[in-house]
Amino acid sequence: MTQTRALTLPFMKMHGLGNDFVVLDGRAGHYDIPSHLIKAIADRHRGVGFDQLAVIATGDDADAFLEFYNSDGSESAACGNATRCIARHIMDETGKESLRLRTRRGMLHAVDRGRGLTSVNMGPPQLDWQSIPLAEEVDTLELPIEGSPVATGMGNPHCTFFVPDAEAVPLAEFGARYEHHPLYPERTNVQVAQITGPDRLRMRVWERGVGITLASGSSSCAVAVAAARRGLTGRRVTIDLDGGSLDIDWAEDGVWMTGGTTHVFSGSFTSDFLQAAVS
């Protein structure tokens, strides 16, 4: 972090269905965030804690440019719930009802749906093995892994297991094992999903670089795409997560995700904390 000793650092704490974020607004200046500072902020005892950290920057061809980091300091090209949270913040700030947000995933469109709901189009899913990416050419609908999971890319890699009972899976052990499967050279997010009704699924998620989270937007999109490809559901579904529900619509122009968001509080990291974190 440049000039850390002389500065405090304002931030916002937000969450989408319990999937929580620290958001830094860098539109007024550039933030250089080293990985050890990200890890220090992510510490839920000595920092603030988050599943992902997001940085808002100016975008020449968009309303904003967004960058995302996992709690282990690694970068992520996509974070659906954080995108929705930031979209809601910018809509409230500007009065706009639709936005264009540039991410490393590409240009994402966000829309105010009313009643406190925000939609983001996460773009078309990546279905071929090279784009996800996988380590070798395989059938992405039936991976050669016990349980025959589905591989999907949503700007980040996903591995979806359809199971009879999502609650019965020991997710901490299960997720950690498959996050590092050799078929996924960049690691993967891991979901266990159960069909609970017509176009409705119960999903639990292990996020790469984070662990178990209460919700995940990109994982919900991946599960919806995987279920539709398997013929288990239609292309518009409700995903029930530990933190709440998301509506997912795999439309012609991409995968739309709709749900609520919360801006919990705003604050500032002190110079003492920042100095200790980077020293």
- Residue 26 scores a pLDDT above 70: yes
CATH no. for residue 29? 3.10.310.10
Question: Domain check: are 195 and 272 in the same one?
Answer: no
Q: Which residue has the tokens 């997710």?
A: 171
pLDDT digits (tens, 9 = 90+) for 253-266: 999 999 999 999 99
Question: Domain check: are 35 and 111 in the same one?
Answer: yes
In a domain, 161, yes or no: yes
Domain that holds residue 23: 4-122+261-278
In a domain, 145, yes or no: no
- The bridge status of strand 244-251 relative to strand 262-269 is unpaired
Q: Which amino acid is at 85?
A: C
Question: Domain check: are 63 and 87 in the same one?
Answer: yes
The pLDDT of 263-276, averaged and rounded, is 94
Question: Domain check: are 117 and 12 in the same one?
Answer: yes
Residue-averaged pLDDT of the chain: 95
Give me the pLDDT at residue 100, please.
98
Give me the pLDDT at residue 60, please.
87
pLDDT confidence tier of residue 40, bands split at 50, 70 and 90 = very high
Give me the pLDDT at residue 2, please.
45
Give me the pLDDT at residue 1, please.
44
Could you give the maximum distance between any two Cα atoms of the chain, in Å? Answer: 57
- Residue 51 scores a pLDDT above 70: yes
Q: In total, how many domains does the chain have? A: 2
The pLDDT of 223-227, averaged and rounded, is 98
Give me the pLDDT at residue 28, please.
82
Question: Domain check: are 159 and 94 in the same one?
Answer: no
The pLDDT of 196-203, averaged and rounded, is 97
Residue-by-residue DSSP string for 176-211: HHHHT-TT-TT--EEEEEEEEETTEEEEEEEETTTE
Decide: residue 190, CB within 10 A, 0-12 exposed, 13-18 middle, 19+ buried.
buried
In a domain, 143, yes or no: no
In eight-state DSSP terms, residue 174 is H
